Chains A and B, each alone.
Chain A
Amino acid sequence: MSESPICFGLYVPPQPHPLLAPEQNEGWGELRSAFDTARQRIEESDADLILVYSTTWPSIIGHQIQAHPEPEWTHVDDDFHFLGSMPYKFKMDTDFADGYNQNCGERGLHSRTIAYDGFPIDTGSVVALKLLNPDNRIPACIVSSNVYSNRAESIVLGKAARDTLQQQGKKAVVVVVATLSNRMFTEHIEPHEDRIHSAKDEEWNQKIMEFFSQGRLEDLSQLSREIHGQIRVQKVVAYKPVWWMAATMGQSNNYDGEVLAYAALHGSGGAVIQLTPTSGSFGDKEFDEDDVEIYSGDRDVLDKGMI
């Protein structure tokens, strides 16, 4: 078995509260402390790259890969603008971005690199990189989430990332930016009033974290459609981040899982979770859906005389 190109994976929330207002709520502060722990572990790792998949960066023309060497701006969140501004200057691994784009094409995906001054990097990516890599010690890469993509594209997108790491001989910390349950309160609340939106969301969040803590990433990947139906507000067609994360990290349950913190973020479920590859395994289950190596596009049944 070849050495994994993944140092470890992180699942972190996109909301700006841990960055901008950790002192206003105990849970937000705990998430901030967990971000700080993760930052320290990244610094102590031998990672060459921080690879971010952000659910708050939607794209339409395939998947977009950030390739500006030093994107710089001051970002303000659409909803939480009152918490403050987020000035940033990041360092991107443009060689990785180019290679990733190439490998997406090799696997049948449409993708493109983007490198434009002033491009609006999304809240989730800004929060993650500012907290996990504040001094730009390690170069990063960010990939978008296509609004129309589903399981096949997301898994193939993850495999293309892994291809690139292996080809370039790089080790990465993989960062998925996403909430667990994503239903927020639709009205203003005071920081001390924050809680998970519903008992159902809380119950599912606990189940998901149980899987994560047991290292069962591939099992979560297989449960993704069920999670989407149960606790995800239907903004997009599917709950994709664990598909991408599982595919990038190697499609197994061979991880040590650790939930570093869990708290409500305006009603949604925010968690900082670490998955570290290990030789042990919870054991793989019998999976319902096929693995996908190459994305071959939509099946044009209407054009094939089937109706």
Chain B
Amino acid sequence: MNRLPLPHVDSMGEIVAGCIAPHPPHVVYADNPPQNEPHSEGGWETLRWGYTKLANKLKTLDYDALVIFTPHWQTYIGTHFLGLPHFKSKSVDPVFPNLFQFNYDLGVDVELSRALHNATKEAGMVTMMMENQDFRIDYGTIVSAHMLNRDWDKPIVPISSNRSRHYYSVEVMNEQARALGRACRKAILESDKRVVLVSTHSLSHRHFTTEPPIPEDMSKQHIYNHSNYVWDMKLIDLMREGKMQEVIDLMPEFTEQTMAETDSGSISWMMEALGMPDYPAEIYGYQSVIGTGNVVAAWDPNPETREVVL
């Protein structure tokens, strides 16, 4: 397998990969990194081993930043981007605070963030830069960034999730997210940056409303219901077959049927930004976390480095 970095063309941006990177805090909790205060006995290895394999692949790619579309920075007034270069604080998960109390110290590629913002605005969408230094980075961004780059040696560019699904419909969400993806693609290609796109979300997203006494007790982990499982597998099969246009066409029904976290628009955004791949996804792992369905997957535009992982 050729793992050499792609050739770098000066002043020519490039999207070197796109990743689905789910963000249940359980995977960071299970990993026991020094930044996270709670301690676990492990758990969710299928996801974490998949994450490790994908992270190892990203190490072989030459890229400047992770651009992360996160469902947990929820905005109703357009799409927001970070406008400050450095954030240091502590993120405590509002839903699973017992699992995730993560001390972060991260850098933002503000130049790229502003370029994405400007392109979004030029495309006619509502957008805003976030420039309050007290702002706390959401745990969706932190979990996915950490699992894909545990060294935190690349800047990130988080993008908020505009909740147009709530205000209008899944169809409107899908179209708006795709328009955002087109704008971001244009901005990246016109920049001199090489980026990895990250769409952080579960597939089916119905949770159990109780938690085992030992959260990492793997004997308690399974999908919420069979319907959600079948839907998740349907989408993964289409990803394997490179039929991403069909995935996006199915997105409204999938999202309605499985309460999917794709309601954030993140996968619709990423697929449009990737140019709607017609090549197979790399599937790194699938596992349930407290009832939800989670896949780690990647799209590598370079056929020389694209792999059949699972």
B302 CB, min distance to chain A CBs, angstroms: 36
User: A62-93 interface mask toward B, CB cutoff 8 Å, 1 = contact, 0 = none?
Assistant: 10000000000011101101101100000000
Q: How many residues of A contact B (CB 8 A)?
A: 35
What are 12 of the A-B contact pairs (CB < 8 Å)?
A: A60-B95, A75-B136, A76-B135, A82-B132, A114-B97, A116-B98, A116-B101, A118-B90, A119-B97, A186-B162, A187-B78, A188-B78
User: B62-105 interface mask toward A, CB cutoff 8 Å, 1 = contact, 0 = none?
Assistant: 00000000000111111010000000001110111110010000
Contact B78 A76 (CB under 8 A): no
Which residues of B sit under 8 angstroms from A187, Cβ to Cβ?
A: 77-78, 126
Chain A contacts to B: CB under 8 angstroms: 57-62, 74-76, 78-79, 81-82, 84-85, 110, 114, 116-120, 122, 146, 148, 183-188, 233-235, 266
Contact B76 A79 (CB under 8 A): yes
- Within the assembled complex, what's the spacing in Å between the Cα atoms of A118 and B210? 23
Contact B209 A110 (CB under 8 A): yes
* Interface core residue of A57, A60, A74, A75 (most chain B CB under 10 Å): A60
Contact B207 A118 (CB under 8 A): no
Which residues of B sit under 8 angstroms from A74, Cβ to Cβ?
A: 134
Partner of A61, one of B130, B132, B211: B211
Contact A188 B209 (CB under 8 A): no
Contact A85 B136 (CB under 8 A): no
Taking chain A's interface residues, is the majority helix, strand, or loop, or is none over half, making it mixed? loop
A223 CB, min distance to chain B CBs, angstroms: 22
Going nearest first, the 5 A-B pairs with the smallest beta carbon separation are A85-B134, A81-B132, A118-B90, A76-B135, A116-B97
User: B95-134 interface mask toward A, CB cutoff 8 Å, 1 = contact, 0 = none?
Assistant: 1111001000000000000000000000000101011101
Contact A266 B94 (CB under 8 A): no
Which residues of B sit under 8 angstroms from A81, Cβ to Cβ?
A: 80, 130-132, 135
Contact A79 B209 (CB under 8 A): no
* Besides the known contacts A61-B209, A61-B211, 19 further A-B residue pairs in the complex with CB atoms under 8 A apart: A61-B207, A62-B209, A76-B135, A78-B74, A81-B130, A81-B132, A116-B97, A117-B101, A119-B94, A119-B97, A120-B94, A122-B94, A183-B167, A184-B76, A186-B77, A186-B126, A187-B78, A187-B126, A188-B126
